[in-house]
Structure 1
């Protein structure tokens, strides 16, 4: 039985760890908030009170953390994964962080960068899209574990490649949410039946997963987070930095990054990123 140490049991990490338990892996979880560790224990996993306890006997260590500094501290810190994992253990970092940080980590420990897409529901369903960077042999070794949490799992290149593809994913998602938000406010202003409009738009060339998964809640102004504004704001910062590094111009991406930053600055960082609709309505004088 493969032993897994799982660090970061939040909105995404908690369901992922639970799905690994369901798949028959021995999972020991650690989170700064004890209640989330207890939830994993209820699902059949084991709880740890420290990073050291979570990773000491693990064959594979999975991290799902908010940002680059968090991953650096947990993995490379004095009392982190590198200090306590057994020799030969494989790190799978499912966080969304800067590609250069993933490359740095892979130079210090056997590691894959494996950010995910699909939101909370995808994590619950075990249907996440996972873009994996790192050595091909490590990817093959990790595949059975990744299969337990994902539906589409692709090795996209060497260290840092997974994070680069995830940055592109976040650019597309943010732009699509913004256009859906603008369309919904436009439809409301014309007093169109938005439910009917969403149905027909989703069936044509404009169809996309934002319409399928988020539009109904956006119309109802229900912004319980599946993915928080503050995290998407962070991700768009990664996109812009990586674009500058490559000499690539992303004018629409820069615009939506400013809109996401504005939404966060107004105190809405804890809402779902579908709350871009609030900003569009406000700019239109309708909220």
Structure 2
């Protein structure tokens, strides 16, 4: 049974499109376990209001559904809010596309960002990070019956058709560094890549293994695809926050430690990313 599958929207949906996360939960047909994990992870009440940015289009990590928001990043954000601001904190959600994350933080539109947000030197000049709370790596996903690529060495001479998402450098990096003979096939987003992979128009999709695992765990695709288990890069996911807010960064780091120590991190990971070949251990805090 998948627990904590969906964190339902609460009683208020603001005109700005922010979702107030309440204490209900479930996946439309599962039993009380799902609701309980959602309630434990995502509080709602009469306390302080905190706005968190996340992705709305990444299964397993941050996905907006008719029932609310679903995913590992969502559960992590909810846990952190509850740990810092208490049981009755109100969590409002705002969509945080990759290109908008720094602006949302700088402009004060969000308090925190949990949105597959890789810690790197250039971003760290603009915003602060806590964490990381997940260490991802670039990988490739292929159809379950595809066996032409088994090791990283096999990539060198392969002319595989590799999905390239407009605006992303993941596929270009693989072609440049690992698979110079690859043929890049460009699509507008990873959902389109998944359709292309399903139909055979492309042989592989590449991005962070956490994102690939989310798609592989999606009910629409379960059993169709596999991750190859390559660690082509390190992608430490941090919690983004305003530059210079050392006090908040330290509190978020403590919340992440609590989440790991009490077993919630593993519970969230298993529920949202566990139905694929993706494996990860809780990371060490580096942003202090």
Q: TM-score, normalised by structure 1?
A: 0.30
Query: More helix by proportion, 1 or 2?
Result: 1
- Higher relative contact order by CA 8 Å / sep ≥ 6: 1 or 2? 2
Q: TM-score, normalised by structure 2?
A: 0.30
Query: More strand by proportion, 1 or 2?
Result: 2
Q: Rg larger in 1 or in 2?
A: 1
